[in-house]
Structure 1
Amino acid sequence: MTALHPVVDTKTYGDPGTGSWEVIEDHRKDKLWLAHGRPYVLDTDADGQTYDGLGPVPEWLHADEPPAPEWLHADEPPAPEPTLEEAQAAQLVLINAGFEQAAKALTAGYPEAERLTWPIQQSEALAWAADNASPTPYLDGLAVARGITPEDMRALTLAQVQAFQAASQQLVGTRQRLRDEINAAATVADVRAVVWPSGGEA
C-alpha cells in the first residue's frame, strides 16, 4: 500500500479554554484516488463530498490507486461476423497477396529495364526451340555483348524461360485452386481455412 505522509506541523487551536494547539493532518501534497480509479482534485465535488486535504482522509478517498471498473478495461465489442460472401472476398485478397509475394520472388534481383526485354527473349527462344532455323536477332545481340556464342545464348535463355514457366505455372495453378476452394466453401470457418502455403511457395 502507498503510505501517506501528512505534514504534521499544521496547527490550529485545540478545545476552547485549554490554551493548547491541536496538530492537524495535512494531506494536501499527497495523491489521493476516488473509488473508480480517478485521481481526486482537492476541494472538488465528488458525489456531493469534498475534501481540502486537511484532517484525516475520508473513507471515500484512497492512498492507493484502486483498480478501474471492469467496463473501463473491457475490450471493444466484437465485430459482427461477416457474411459468407464478405469472408470469401476478404480471403481472396489474402490469397492474391500471397501469390504476388511469391511471384515477385521469381523476378527478384533483375532490374526492371531488363525484365522489359523478357517477352522478346522468350519469343525468340521458344521459336528457336521449335525451329532451329528461326532467326534470333535480339538473342544474337545479347550474345555479342555477353561474349558467348549465339548458340549458347539461345540455350541459356531457353532454359531460363522453361524454368520460369514451370515455376509460374505452379504459382498460378495454386492461386486458382485456392480461389476455387474459397468459392466452394460453405461456411466462414471453411473460407478462413483456405490460406496461401506457408513459406510463400505453392
Structure 2
Amino acid sequence: MYNPNGFAIKDVDELHQQILGTRLAMVITHGAQGLQASHLPLLFRPDEGPNGTLYGHFARANPQWKELQDGAEALVIFAGADAYVSPGFYPSKAEHGKVVPTWNYVAVHAHGTAEVFTDADRLLGLVSSLTDRHEAGRAQPWKVADAPADYIDGMLKAIVGFALPIQRLEGKRKLSQNRSTADIAGVREGLAASPDVHDQALAHLMR
C-alpha cells in the first residue's frame, strides 16, 4: 500500500491488535485464474514465526485455494475503522479555504505464501478454534461438538484449510497527522458528533 512514513504503523503489537480485532479479512491472490479475493474469518497465532501465522479455510468449491496450493503469494487485508473527512471540519477552512476532502482509515496488510491442508483432524481443530473465538461471550456458546459427528465429518470434507506464515507485515493509520493541531481536533470533534457509528469509531481512535 502507499504508506507515507508519517502514517506507517511501526509498533508490532499495534499491527497484531488490528489483525486480532478484524473479524472478517480479505484474502487476495493472483494466479492462473487471475486476481481472486475471498472474505474469510481467520485465526491469528502471533507467536508462530517472526510475524505470526494466519489460519483459515476455503469452501472446497472455491478455486482460490488451488492458487495457494500452487505457491501463489497471498495478500491479506485487515481493514479497520474509516471515515470521510469533510473540509468543513477544519478550522483552517475559515482562514484560507485551501482545504479538500479526504478519508481517514486504519488498515493492515499481511503478505505470505501458504500451506494448504485437508487432514480431517487438523481441519476440526481449526473450525473448533474459530467457532470458540466467535461464540465467546454468548450466554450459551455453540460448540462444534454440539452437532452430530457424522454431519461434521461431511462438512469437513467440503472445506480446505491453510496456514499462512506472514512474511511481510505493514500497517497504516491515516488519522489527520499531516494537519495542524486545530484541524485534527476539528476532525475528531466533527466525527464524534456524527450519528454514524463508523464515524464515531474513527473519532475514538483519534483521541
Q: TM-score scaled by structure 1?
A: 0.20
Larger Rg: 1
TM-score in terms of structure 2 length: 0.19
Structure richer in helix, relative to its length: 1
